[in-house]
Structure 1
Amino acid sequence: MSDDNRTLPYPDPDAQHPTLVIPGRTDGTDAVAAPRRRRRRWPWVLLIMVVVLALLAVAAELLTRAILPGVVRSIVIEQLDLPADQQLDVEADGILLPQLIGGRLDALHLSTDSVTLEGITGAADVTASGVPLRGGDLAGAEGTIRIDESQFTALIGRTDLPVDTVTLDAPNATVAGSVTVLGVAIPVSLTVTPGVAEGDLELTPVGLSVGGLKVDADQVGSSLGSLGADLTRTQRICIADQLPAGLTLTGLEIDGSEAVIDVDVDGGIATDPTLLEKGVCPAD
């Protein structure tokens, strides 16, 4: 073979074509990729725990509100010796769970469309504050009692007024009856403005008619003597003996055809049985 056609040697591959280094590789074998950074999961876990606790709190609150009215209703009916089927609505203010933990309710509302206490029947609405759940006196309580004309008639029946019927027409009440003068029954109608004074009912005369004729109060007083004086003077009526001793009258006004009586309730009525008994009127 001639020298003109010499075979050239292959180039050294390492010299002309250097091996490229692939990131992540350290040799000719497959390299293991670097592990990814794990995301922190604790904020999500915390959020889920908060949501679960909130749902449990809501469920407990709803359960408490469902159970509490029945418990309170049973206690009130038992203490006041009311019929087992007595209608009585119970509602508590605020969020109950913290109050139950603290052992005292901020405010408790009791209402009924008709209840009979010591012979008086009417609608009642009472709000008690600071109600202890483990026994003890109330911080206080107040409410209203609404009675119709027949019940109001029974309340003032012991006055010196001739009371046969009573008509309520805000803001006054008209008492109708008859008086006997020289053996003759004379119809009398007296219009009064009801109120409360020192826990007693107070009836202040504002109009008078005798035999269907409107007359001046001074004329009646002079012509009928002591009877006329009784008709025209302000009447004070104690009804403490018709109400539980723990109730005190604080106000009275006529609303349409009903009498609305405001009462203050002694906080000790929750622990003192004597306050549930009839009160006492002073001797005449």
Structure 2
Amino acid sequence: MTAAVDAPKARRRWPIVVAIVLVVLVAALVAAYFIADSIARSTGERLVAEKFAEKLSSEEGTTVSPDDIDVTIGGASVIAQYLGGSFESVHVDAEGIAFDGTPLDVTIQANGVPTDMSKPVNTVTGSVAFDQAGLDSLLQKNGTDADITLGDGTVTYSVSQTFIGIPLTFTLTAQPSTTADSLVFTPTSGELAAGSASIDISGLIDAVLADNTVSFCIADQIPAGVDLTGAEVATDSVTVRFQAGDLVIADLAQTGTCS
């Protein structure tokens, strides 16, 4: 009688065992997938940083370590994105990288990044920030002899003007802006250097402001298809923003042109 009672109990246990095994198996596979995906994400991010650093370091006067570059691949599963042929987003932050001898802070946000480099990235936005020395270097490379000093939201520089045979020096305050291919400093006010206060220059100041805008093209130093979208200055930096749409990764080595 005991055997007759025990047999059904044994039969009732095995479905529970199978259920437990299946639950554990599924949970383990899900865990393994997320572990693998996490590894794929971190590996991909490190690879982007290494390739970015390698490319920058190939430029003369430039030394960049992958440790200086923070890369984040957005979206859900990196593996699924890769198999789908496109990454939802890639964000890059690089602070204090020495590019051509100039320290830069670079931020790039790319959305819709294809795994096939012959296909375009949907959108790219970002900014580049550099200090006073970086601005001086940029001015020198563009053949601009203006001595521009950074301020809080504005810049200042001096210009000389002859008025009724008298040489005058003005200190101009200018606002930063951009065109699609150039960084521009437009004077908004000016002061005459001390020592000539007795001269009436009321009819001259407007002409001085209008004639002394500083503008220099940097399109030949950035990839073709990238447009400048704005600029801000602080006492210790200039920040230039940019954007691009349908930018083909394989064409990034081709720079724009300055007319």
Q: Is the structural similarity TM-score above 0.5?
A: yes
Q: 1:91–1:110: 8 Å Cα contact kept in structure 2? A: yes
Give per-residue Cα distances to partners, 1:204-260, cap 9 Å, x unaligned. 2221112148999853258xx7x67523xx444322233333432111122453221
- What is the rounded CA distance, in whole Å, between the counterparts of 2:170 and 2:234 in structure 1? 24
Residue in structure 1 matched with residue 242 of structure 2 by the alignment: 263
Aligned to 1:15: none
Shift of 1:185: 6.2
Q: Is the 8 A contact 2:89 2:113 kept in 1?
A: yes
CA radius of gyration, larger in: 1
Partner Cα distance (1:134, 1:263) in 2: 24
- How many pairs does the alignment contain? 243
CA 92–280 in structure 1, closer or farther in 2 if over 3 Å, else same: same
Describe the SS at the equivalent of 1:57.
helix
Q: Which one of the candidate residues 143, 149, 173 is aligned to 1:191?
A: 173
- What SS is found at the alignment partner of 2:32? helix
Alpha-carbon spacing, 1:276–1:128, altered in 2? closer, same or farther (3 Å)? same
Q: Is the 8 A contact 2:229 2:242 kept in 1?
A: yes
Residue 66 (structure 1) aligned with residue 27 (structure 2): no
Unaligned runs of 5+ in 1: 1-23, 25-30
Structure 1 Cα separation of the partners of residues 136 and 200 of structure 2:
25
Distance 1:216 1:267 in 2: 55
The aligned residue for residue 8 of structure 1 is none
Aligned partner of residue 271 in structure 1, secondary structure: helix
Determine the structure 2 residue equivalent to 1:168: 151
Q: What code does the residue aligned with 2:130 have? A: I
Other structure's SS at 1:138 match: strand
Aligned residue among 199, 208, 230 for 1:251: 230
Counterpart of 1:88 in structure 2 is 69
> Is contact 1:242–1:279 with CA below 8 Å preserved after alignment?
yes
Show the counterpart of 1:149. Answer: 132
Q: Secondary structure at the match of 2:82?
A: helix
Q: Secondary structure at the match of 1:174?
A: strand
Structure-1 residue corresponding to 2:23: 47
Structure 2 residues without counterparts, runs of 5 or longer: none
Task: Compare 48-57 and 185-194 and name the one that shifted more.
Answer: 185-194
Q: Which residue of 184, 206, 216 maps to 1:237?
A: 216
Offset at 1:155?
Answer: 3.9
Tell me the distance in 2 between the aligned counterparts of 1:120 and 1:132.
31
Relative distance call for 1:269 and 1:216 in structure 2 (3 A) is farther
SS of equivalent residue, structure 1 residue 33: helix
Determine if contact 2:74/2:90 at 8 Å carries over to the other structure.
Answer: yes
State the shift of 1:92 in Å: 0.8
The correspondence for 2:204, drawn from 188, 201, 220, is 220
Matched, 1:128 2:110: yes
Partner SS, residue 93 of structure 2: strand
* Alignment check: 8 A CA contact 2:150 2:234 kept: no
Structure showing the higher helix proportion among its residues: 2
TM-score of the superposed pair, with normalisation by structure 1: 0.71
Aligned residue in 2 for 1:97:
79
1:281 aligns with 2:254: no
SS at match of 1:36: helix
Report the secondary structure of 1:140's partner residue: strand
CA distance in 1, matches of 2:127, 2:250: 22
Assess if the C-alpha contact under 8 Å between 1:244 and 1:277 holds in 2: yes
Given that residues 148 and 259 in structure 1 are in contact (C-alpha distance below 8 angstroms), is that contact kept between their aligned partners in structure 2? yes
Equivalent residue of 2:112, what SS? strand
Partner residue in 2 for 1:33: 4
Please give the alpha-carbon distance, in whole angstroms, between the structure 2 residues aligned to 1:65 and 1:240.
34
- Indicate the RMSD between aligned Cα atoms, in angstroms: 3.4
TM-score by length of 2: 0.77
- State the identity %: 23
Counterparts of 2:95 and 2:175, CA distance in 1: 26
> Is the Cα–Cα contact under 8 Å of residues 247 and 264 in structure 1 kept in the other structure?
yes
Deviations 1:248-275 (A, max 9, x none): 2111122453221111145434111xx4
